[in-house]
Structure 1
Amino acid sequence: MESENPQEKLKKLKEVLSGFPKDQCLDLDVEWPGFKVWPFRLDVRWNDKRQKWVFIVTNLNRVEFTLSEVLRAYRLRWQIELIFKEIKSYSGWHRFNTNSATLVFSLILMSFVVVTLTRYLAHAAQANLYNSGVTEEISTHKVMKSGTRLFGSLILSLMNAGKSLVSCIKKLLSFWGDNAKREHPARDGCSRRTRLGLCAVGGA
């Protein structure tokens, strides 16, 4: 382990933490046996509620992302749970019209495919807004609840060798751009991902 403190170079992590103040954070360069050619950045902070150290391994550059920014970004990890919530809420998981375990498993996998495609297109709708000079963000939650018919037309187009695909995509992105904006942009700028200047990518 290597840190910015010369006295703490080449020490084991537990040796450093044993005497480190719990009201401070560590921003370290670390190596693991077998991965010495691939150093990692390790940020460490004390969680008083759980009474244990929290370890965040990242490859984010210190010049672009300070320690405090990495810690704030880590608090956004709960958004991963929103994907599962959206799938369970809008994919009909509460009831399947089949007793076949194979079909149920296939339907569950298809739900993940659909939500992945939907989010990609939501990010494309976001990119359209930015290109038009609109700074408002798209709500992926609203996207999952709206535009069902237009999304179905897009899927039918894919099943029909892509006939009218571009037209279907444009209609869907335009609909979401008009009807799926986030409701509280000011709040998001204070407490959510926009506070860090993060933006959605993947739908160029």
Structure 2
Amino acid sequence: MLPKLAGKKLKEVNRRTSRAEVLDLKVHRGKQVFRVVRCWFKEEKRFCLWVTNLPADKYSADDIMSIYLCRWQVELLFKKLKSDTNWRRFATRQKAIVEGVVRTSLQALIVRRFIALKSPGNISVSKAAKNVDIGLLPILTAYIHQTWSEITACLEWVMKHISENALKSPQRKSRRDKILDGIFEKLNF
């Protein structure tokens, strides 16, 4: 901890009092003690704060930021799942039906994303996952009938379609560490 920041309120720690890009602070509120990691994002000219109880001796400030970015990706995954399936609320209160719908929707999303990731070229996984739907029904039908040659033909057609219709938009390099692939690279997965 920086001695000049000791005893200051969190809202008093700004760009004038600390020019550090990343601060890892131990914060007291009454009897509670917790950790706040603060990062300055130069391009966006703003701070981002993460509050955690993870110990500093086991998790660095960079670890905390990466972990929370992964957590945010999970939140975005469920948001995507909800929007893809147009979920507002369920028409049933039976737990088994709700769990089945959630699991099936998640499996369909995973299949769409898997096909998108395996497609050749510099493609957008999100755009590709939307384009997979047109070939998903024939693939599943061929799977149910166990006509393996049709599955292969359907997959090849879908991947060709995706490689032509789901190209990535140019992305700034500085944003790379905020997408799931970039986070995984940073965490060495």
Q: What's the TM-score, normalizing by structure 1?
A: 0.54
- The counterpart of 2:69, out of the listed 69, 76, 79, is 76
1:153–1:200 Cα change, 3 Å: farther
1:56–1:92 Cα change, 3 Å: farther
Letter in 1 for 2:133: T
1:72–1:195 Cα change, 3 Å: farther
* 1:121 corresponds to 2:115: yes
* 1:143 corresponds to 2:137: no
Q: How many residues align?
A: 146
Q: How far apart in 1 are the matches of 2:64 and 2:183?
A: 17
* 1:46 corresponds to 2:53: no
1:56-75 matches, cutoff 5 A: 73-74=66-67
CA contact (8 A) 2:116 2:132 kept: no
Give the structure 2 partner of residue 169 of structure 1.
155
1:18-51 deviation line (CA, Å, top 9, x unaligned): xx3375668xxxxxxxxxxxxxxxxx87338658
1:93–1:173 Cα change, 3 Å: same
**1:175, distance to aligned residue in structure 2 (A):** 1.4
In angstroms, what is the RMSD of aligned CA positions? Answer: 4.0
Bigger helix share: 2
Q: How far apart in 2 are the matches of 1:154 and 1:199?
A: 32
Where does structure 2 lack aligned partners over 5 or more consecutive residues? 6-19, 25-34, 39-46
| % identical aligned pairs | 19
Q: What's the TM-score, normalizing by structure 2?
A: 0.57
